[in-house]
Amino acid sequence: MIIDSHAHVMLPPERQIMLMAEAKVDRTVLFSSMVHPEITNDIKMFEEELNKLYDILNGIKDPLNERIHAIEELAQIIKENPEKYIGFGSIPFGLSYSENLKWIEKHIIANGFRGIGELTPGAGQVLQMESLFCASQEVGNLPLWVHTFFPLKAEDIKELLTLVKRYPTVPTIVGHMGGTHWLDTLKAIKELPNAYLDLSATYTAIAPSFAIKEFPERTLFSSDAPYSSPLIAKTIIEQIITDPYVLDRVLGENIANLLQL
Amino acid sequence: MIIDSHAHVMLPPERQIMLMAEAKVDRTVLFSSMVHPEITNDIKMFEEELNKLYDILNGIKDPLNERIHAIEELAQIIKENPEKYIGFGSIPFGLSYSENLKWIEKHIIANGFRGIGELTPGAGQVLQMESLFCASQEVGNLPLWVHTFFPLKAEDIKELLTLVKRYPTVPTIVGHMGGTHWLDTLKAIKELPNAYLDLSATYTAIAPSFAIKEFPERTLFSSDAPYSSPLIAKTIIEQIITDPYVLDRVLGENIANLLQL
């Protein structure tokens, strides 16, 4: 089974289904989105959406109502095609342990979502996620999906990996495999069996090549749609993997095992 | 005709030809390479190659003999398949006007190369390239190909574009279209008709989508092999362009016009 392990809700929903069909993707792990760059038509509109996203990524903006609305939108889309989607639910940044638990119960577990994310700490904020790691452990180790590309710095990724080490039962998906710090990330997760690598948003095919070579059972194909498309992302994986066993694992089995699908 | 507008010499040369055939690429604009990540087998070897490259990108190392050897290797590979390749010749960074002219005569024009690059200024060094812009103008406006991804910063790209503006007859290919600063780069080149956008190494398909929409006659398909492959890069372009006229332009005609092929 081919599983796109990370894509955001795209509008209209039919477009997402069409892109999955085009790439022969059977299922998608779907994340909510408070911005919709896929419906912008020109640079100006796109920039407005992007600035909204950066404000969220940089922790400047964390609009509660928009987040809840996006989660409801996600739950609705999954309800309409339950055989196609698995949900991951978002959570505001910087909650206390008990606030995290309350949110997880109400917005993640109640919706049947299978993980938490996309988490987007700003630079210097990563350690604030400790209470979330703790809460995830408490509710049965819900996987966390953490963005590690720009604006995160090398130091932030190091801090994230100290949390991954401190909570060895909490599976953590390192989104975009560390971005420009991918090589250091690969070296660092050798001793962290609960760290998984998301292969989207890489600017060089060499990065996923080595990631898969080193960690054939912990690397996850994903499109990060709408920021790329399932077909583009799958073509990259098919180009760099020659072993059919490894290809099956990366294109679907690894995430299926992780989420016990 | 499908033209990969930017790839580096890969070893062995048969592998490059095979990758071109696989992607149905007719011709490649080939650049020399002092490092060969494509022949490394593990992370340690790769890191050693990469560190060599970063030392060059950061201006720490500029090994003259290795550069000349890489140029000779490039000239030889083109000689063996002149119908497949067009060459761009590299040049040491920070030469004076007359040193630039001498190098261009001896190592670029004498080899029949059609442009100069890949130029890899370190952060804060871009304005040192003014004498090179001047020398290019003097020899009939040889196109320059400038790396603008990491480690360059937004400020460096701005400085580069002031040179592009100051030398309006010198075609400048903005390599990797500004990296994480792609949106500002798009906005800035509107009034700079001699600026072209190289579409390789983008970490999101949205960047080349808008680039092509804004500048259908100034955007150039390229693989940046070995850092990606021609098939991966071409698939991205084919996925994001629906208009067959624009597709033809981006996949080959734009670079053919620019280089008068």
Q: How many whole angstroms separate alpha carbon A177 and alpha carbon B213?
A: 30
Count how many pairs of residues, chain A against chain B, have C-beta atoms within 8 Å: 71
DSSP B118-129: EE-PPTT-GGGG
Q: What is the pLDDT of residues A131-184, one digit of tens each?
A: 999 999 999 999 999 999 988 999 999 999 999 999 999 999 999 999 999 999
CB B158 within 8 A of CB B130: no
- Say which of A176, A210, A231 has its CB closest to residue B43: A210
Gap between the Cα atoms of A129 and A132, Å rounded: 5
Residues of A in contact with B202 (CB under 8 A): 203
Average pLDDT over residues A72-100: 97
Q: Is the Cβ pair A37, B206 closer than 8 Å?
A: yes
For the segment B47-54, the average pLDDT, to the nearest whole number, is 85
Q: How confident is the model at residue A54 (pLDDT cuts 50, 70, 90)?
A: confident
Could you identify the residue written with the tokens 């993997």? A241
Which DSSP letter does residue B194 get?
Answer: T
pLDDT value at B59 more than 80: no
Q: How far apart are CA A199 and CA A221, in angstroms?
A: 6
Q: How confident is the model at residue B258 (pLDDT cuts 50, 70, 90)?
A: very high
Name which of A87, A102, A158, A178 is nearest A135 in CA terms. Answer: A102
For residue A59, the model assigns a pLDDT of 67
Residue A58 has pLDDT above 80, yes or no: no
Between chains, do A43 and B187 touch, taking CB under 8 Å as contact?
yes
Q: How far apart are CA B206 and CA B195, in angstroms?
A: 20
Q: Select the more confidently predicted residue: A43 or A223.
A: A223
For residue A124, is pLDDT > 80? yes
Looking at A120-124, B1-5, B10-14, B60-64, which range is the least confident one? B60-64
| Burial zone of B60 (CB within 10 Å; 0-12 exposed, 13-18 middle, 19+ buried) | exposed
pLDDT at B54 over 90: no
Of B150, B198, B199, B152, the closest CA to residue B171 belongs to B198
Domain extent for B194? 3-259
Q: State both tokens at B197.
A: 């956008």
Q: Which residues of B touch A231 (CB under 8 A)?
A: 235, 239
Strand order in the sheet with A144-147: A3-8, A27-31, A85-89, A115-119, A144-147, A172-175, A195-198, A219-220
Q: What percent of chain A has pLDDT over 70?
A: 98
Q: Which of A185, A184, A249 is nearest to A219 (CA)?
A: A249
d(CA A25, CA A29): 11
Q: Tell me: the pLDDT tens digits for B74-92?
A: 999 999 999 999 999 999 9
Query: Is B154 at the interface with chain A, CB within 8 A?
Result: no
Considering only the C-alpha atoms of chain B, give the largest distance between any 2 of them, rounded to a whole number of Å: 47
Given a cut of 90, is residue B231 above it in pLDDT?
yes
A43/B236 touch (CB, cutoff 8 Å), yes or no: no
Output the average pLDDT for chain A: 95
Do the bridges between strand B195-198 and strand B219-220 make them parallel or antiparallel, or are there none, so unpaired? parallel
B156's tokens? 């460096």
Supply the pTM of this predicted model.
0.92
Question: A30 pairs with which residues across the strands?
Answer: A7, A87
- From the list A43, A150, A214, which residue is nearest B214 (CB)? A43
Name the range with the highest mean pLDDT among A119-128, B46-55, B187-196: B187-196
Output the six-digit token pair for B45: 């070897």
Q: Who's near A113: CB < 8 A, 6+ residues apart?
A: A86, A87, A88, A89
CA B190 – CA B198 distance, rounded (Å) = 15
A257 pLDDT more than 90: yes
What type of residue is A182? W
Q: Is A59 left (phi over 0), alpha (psi -120 to 50) or beta?
A: left
Q: How many helices (H) and strands (E) does chain A have?
A: 11, 8
DSSP state for residue A121 in the 8-state scheme: P
Q: How many domains does chain B have?
A: 1
B56 pLDDT band, cuts 50/70/90, is confident
Dihedral, CA of residue B144, residue B145, residue B147 and residue B153, to nearest 10: 40
A11-53 pLDDT tens trace: 999 999 999 999 999 999 999 999 999 999 899 999 998 888 8
- Please state whether the peptide bond connecting residue A47 to the residue before it is cis, i.e. omega within 30 degrees of 0: no
User: What order do you get walking across the sheet with B219-220 strand by strand?
Assistant: B3-8, B27-31, B85-89, B115-119, B144-147, B172-175, B195-198, B219-220
The yes-or-no verdict on residue A99 having pLDDT over 70 is: yes
Work out the angle between the directed axes of helices A206-214 and A230-240 (0-180°, nearest 10).
60
Whether residue A261 lies within 8 A of chain B, CB to CB, comes out as no
Please tell me the distance from the alpha carbon of residue A119 to that of residue B195, in angstroms, as a whole number. 37
CATH of residue B37's domain is 3.20.20.140
Between B11-25, B34-48, B208-222, the lowest mean confidence (pLDDT) is in B34-48
| Least confident range of A38-52, A70-84, B128-142 | A38-52
The helix/strand/coil state of B250 is: helix
**Which residues does chain A have within 8 Å of residue B154's beta carbon, measured at their own beta carbons?**
none
What is the mean pLDDT of the segment spanning B221-238?
A: 95
Rounded to a whole number of angstroms, the distance from the CA of B201 to the nearest CA of chain A is 5
